[in-house]
Amino acid sequence: MESAKQKEHLIRFMTVFMAVILFISIIPVLISSFYCHPYADDFHYARSVYQAVNSGQGPLGVLSACFHEVGNTYMTWQGSYSAVFIFCLQPAAFSDNLYFITTFVMLAALIFSTVFFIYTVFKEFKFDKKLGLITSFIILFLSVQFVYSKFQAFFWWNGCSYYTLFYAFSLLLFSFLIKMYFASGKRKTAFFIASLLLAAITGGGNYSTALSATVILFTLSCFIFSRNKKQLPYYLVVSGVLAAGLIISMIAPGNSVRAASSNMQSPVDAVIGSIVYSIILIARWTDLAQIAGFIIIGAIAVMVTKGSRFQFRYPLLIMLLTFLLFATQLTPPLYAIGYPGAGRQINIYYYSYYLLVSFNIFYTAGWINRKKLIEIKKEQLKPAYIISALVLILCLFAGGCIKYGAENLTFIDTTSALSSGTARIYSEDYMERISELKNGQTSISELDTVPDFLTRFDISKNPEYWVNQDMAAYYGLEEITAKPAD
């Protein structure tokens, strides 16, 4: 009895401790958000909304501008209808002082969706929910601190809303689908409606997320068909909405225009390439810091799967299927543009890497428990052993940070920019040049002081360059040129 209480106290302490660590780690990220500003595509997609706001057209005018941009983009560039609608709502289009919302929205979406998804799995499958929270906090801490591209994950509305935000939508979709399976009556209907809405939104987002979500949902439907045929109609309808959204996005006339400027691969080359690139990415990301996190997740997995009613019969098959699912995300960009995508797209591969590896850890731990390959008795868990294990994990994590470059961690990178003043100088210089544009000046100098996690205007001396044209259209100018560097 006393041992059970001690275990409960330890789990509660670890839950609070990891929540505090995660919160502290994102504080400088949130503060840095007040120094970031629109970039490149932000000007293109939000220009009509910006003009509607400044001409006093009100909410209807803003909505009209959004729908017009969605229709125009669908015909001339890409079919991601729900993503383009969100692009138009770039915060600075409503006020220059609101762009900080970008970081708050993206971090909130990533954190909430990850916690909600893992918590839902643990709750519905009768695992200890506090251990689910600890697992989600570990995954989030590693995801945020070692993210592939900080700028394109948290500080650029267009880039991160297309990927980070839609990754979050997909996690919410599967959370509601899980809840729907176990619910009944009005709650089941509510989860069904929420799933339909999220399926329609996700289908019109980035192709990596939409395709992988469709594959997962199809696989899930097959599983439900073998287990509970009464549930199948719900999942078939949601699958249909998701697939329809993806198809509507794929058949957009604008996609052919965009494809003409890209180096497309054959479908076979894209599939093979996605498998090769996936092996490379997983090998590159599985470093000391990640291994430290996976060790803790492994300990949790052993605890929650012990005595579970699930059989965990096919660990190798599950590893293969989840790897192929991971690779599915890379297939659309390899087919369309010939490479795995920019940093913003690789970010979502990175997020999903943690979830899929963790899933395999839990499944394998369940298989080990079922086979009784490892038997750990309570009397063997002496305090000295536990402390030694924690020290080893901390050493692994520290070694991983050193190898990665501690200055590259999101917490240290943003903290350094704030303390040195480079973030403030960047923001002041940025707004000074925007003020010049608003006053009718058409030639501005590039930004000189730029923190690692932000970026320059990327304008050119050539007024025909697309970034120049988009900024000019946004501010109602004939053209914009970059002044020659000193």
Residues β-bridged to residue 482: 444
227 in a domain, yes or no? Answer: no
Could you tell me the pLDDT band of residue 396, with boundaries at 50, 70 and 90? very high
Burial class (CB in 10 A: 0-12, 13-18, 19+), 51: middle
468 in a domain, yes or no? Answer: no
Residues β-bridged to residue 443: 481
Q: What average pLDDT score do residues 248-267 get? A: 83
379 in a domain, yes or no? Answer: yes
41 in a domain, yes or no? Answer: no
Greater confidence (316 vs 376) lies with: 316
| φ/ψ bin of 216: left (φ > 0), alpha (ψ from -120 to 50), beta (otherwise) | alpha
Q: What average pLDDT score do residues 328-339 get? A: 90
Q: Please tell me the predicted confidence (pLDDT) of residue 274.
A: 95
Rounded distance between C-alpha atoms, residue 19 and residue 140, angstroms: 10
Could you tell me the pLDDT band of residue 434, with boundaries at 50, 70 and 90? very high
Percent of the chain with pLDDT over 90: 82
Q: Supply the range of the domain harboring residue 328.
A: 2-35+100-155+252-413
For the stretch 40-88, pLDDT in tens is 999 999 999 999 999 999 999 999 999 999 999 999 999 999 999 999 9
Q: Please tell me the predicted confidence (pLDDT) of residue 469.
A: 96
Chain centroid to CA 179: how far? 22
Following CA atoms 205, 211, 214, 216 in sequence, which dihedral angle do they give, to the nearest 10 degrees?
A: -120
- Yes or no: say if 208 and 341 are a contact pair by the CB < 8 Å rule: yes
Rounded distance between C-alpha atoms, residue 143 and residue 355, angstroms: 10
Rounded distance between C-alpha atoms, residue 157 and residue 90, angstroms: 6
Residue type at 389 in one-letter notation: A
Residue type at 459 in one-letter notation: I
Per-residue pLDDT at 409 exceeds 80: yes
Q: Please tell me the predicted confidence (pLDDT) of residue 101.
A: 97
Per-residue pLDDT at 381 exceeds 80: no
What φ, ψ does residue 444 adopt, rounded to 5°?
Answer: -130, 155
Looking at the 3D structure of the chain, how many domains does it have? 1
* Three-class SS state of 235: helix
Element (H, E) at 75: helix 58-76
**DSSP code of residue 154:** I
Could you tell me the pLDDT band of residue 338, with boundaries at 50, 70 and 90? confident
- Yes or no: say if 345 and 208 are a contact pair by the CB < 8 Å rule: yes
312 in a domain, yes or no? Answer: yes
Q: What average pLDDT score do residues 162-184 get? A: 96
Among 22-26, 138-142, 243-247, 265-269, the range scoring the smallest mean pLDDT is 265-269
Q: Please tell me the predicted confidence (pLDDT) of residue 264.
A: 75
Instruction: Name residues whose C-beta falls within 8 Å of residue 38's C-beta, 6 or more positions apart in sequence.
Output: 46, 90, 92, 99, 157
* Three-class SS state of 150: helix
Alpha helices in 228-266 (DSSP H): 232-250, 253-259
Closest Cα to residue 204, out of 45, 331, 78? 78
63 in a domain, yes or no? Answer: no
478 in a domain, yes or no? Answer: no
Average pLDDT, the chain: 92
Element (H, E) at 107: helix 101-124
Rounded distance between C-alpha atoms, residue 421 and residue 416, angstroms: 8
Q: Please tell me the predicted confidence (pLDDT) of residue 205.
A: 95
Q: Which two tokens stand for residue 150?
A: 């900080």
293 in a domain, yes or no? Answer: yes
Q: Please tell me the predicted confidence (pLDDT) of residue 265.
A: 81
